[in-house]
Amino acid sequence: MKKTYIARQAIFDRNLNTIGYELFFRDSSVNEFPEVDQDIASSKLIIQNHIQSDIQTLCMGKLAFINFTESNLIHKFPLMFDKNLIIIELIGHKKPSQNLVKIVKYYHEHGYKIALTEYDLASHWDVLFPYIDIVKVNIEEINTKRLIPSVSRMKPFNIRLIAERVETKNQQQTLAEVGFNYFQGYFYHQTEIIEGQTLTTLKVMMLQLLTETANDTLNFERISHIISQDVNLTIGLLKMVNNVSTGSNVEIDCLKQAATYLGEEKLRQFIAILALSNLTSHKADEICKQSLITARMMQSLCNENNFTPVYEFSFITGLLSSIEFILSMPIAEIIKTMPLAAPIEKALMSYDGLLGDLLKLTTAFISDNNENNHQLMNAHGLTEEVLQQEFLNACEWYQTLEIKN
């Protein structure tokens, strides 16, 4: 486990109602932008907000303003988010290239709202006006009186203005008269650090996944197999399916189904984001190790006994069996972010159903808590000897994964 840090600053309307938060990447509790490439910073921010966390919770139901470089846009990273939850902030541009105009138009046509940052009043930005929704102006760098001609040119496109670096109440009144709709700065809200935790990702699996994505046609069977060996990747994949399935009723009962549901393009994006953000570790977390052994043991116990009907759910249920400890969140909250089949949800939430019996029986045995397990064993025709052998088999299987401790 390692800590993650995200900074956020509120953006207000003229009545001081919060309309959203700009999110910033941080690599420590020090509240300043680290010396890191903007592409990598954006990718890490996506990991920490989208895959490992809940952006709606982080932004308290308001819009999330997220910086995207041209490279991020080309790789379609914004498509990882629901278009109703984010504002795409364009960064890293001195002037609009033909390629940038084409990209911005693409996101506009797909329903995303776009904010032009680093605006310097130059007329060459006018070409973007038909496709953007917001212009952000750093009032420490631009005399707002010089902004009036630009505001006139924006008016036909209903573009809203955000004033950045607002420090006093008097500034707000003057800025509102010029035409600003929203305000951001230390006068309203100092940038605050939100601390969380992210899971480790095993380097060997990242290399395997990157190798797979280099192929012209993705092998969903192979990719789902690799992902199934790491709890972090499993969680990320399920969260991504949840995000892209907004408005539809999707129940996932195996990782191959999740990978296939995403399709080649989004699956490649998922892996590219993980690689670019350098989310790697030299060490397998003990909890993840136990989850893998639980998953394998549950799957094996489904081969020749009462649990055969839940075979297809068994591995992913075992893999998620320690999810509360890994994410330090209540299982009820975690379940909301994952499109799981009903038997899996019931098993994880309250050990309900046949799958719940299998999970309870397996986890109790692994944690050496067999005192109250005999009734379940008898009900399903199992003995301690059988469970012991399956546990040893699962441990041997784990060793074959070549995960270095």
Overall CATH class of domain 2-196: alpha beta
CATH code 1.10.3210.10 region(s) in the chain: 199-405
- Check residue 110 and give its pLDDT: 95
pLDDT in tens, 195-246: 554 434 444 565 566 556 555 677 888 888 877 777 767 777 777 776 665 5
Overall CATH class of domain 199-405: mainly alpha
Do residues 49 and 6 touch, judged by C-beta distance below 8 A? Answer: yes
pLDDT in tens, 236-285: 777 777 666 555 556 666 777 877 777 776 776 676 555 444 333 443 45
pLDDT in tens, 299-347: 899 987 789 999 888 887 887 787 776 655 677 767 776 667 889 889 9
Please state the rounded mean pLDDT for residues 169-190: 78
Backbone angles phi, psi at 140, to 5 degrees: -80, -20
- The DSSP element (H or E) to which 393 belongs, if any, is helix 384-400
Report the SS3 class of residue 32. Answer: coil
Phi-psi region of 250 (alpha: psi -120 to 50; beta: other; left: phi over 0): beta
- Check residue 114 and give its pLDDT: 97
CATH code 3.20.20.450 region(s) in the chain: 2-196
- Check residue 79 and give its pLDDT: 83
| Residue 161 pLDDT class (50, 70, 90 cuts) | very high
Give pTM, 2 decimals. 0.52
Q: In the structure encoding, which two tokens stand for residue 107, read together?
A: 């996101």
Do residues 344 and 253 touch, judged by C-beta distance below 8 A? Answer: yes
Q: What is the DSSP string of 175-209?
A: HHHHT--EE-STTT---EEEEEEE---BHHHHHHH
302/93 Cα distance (integer angstroms): 56
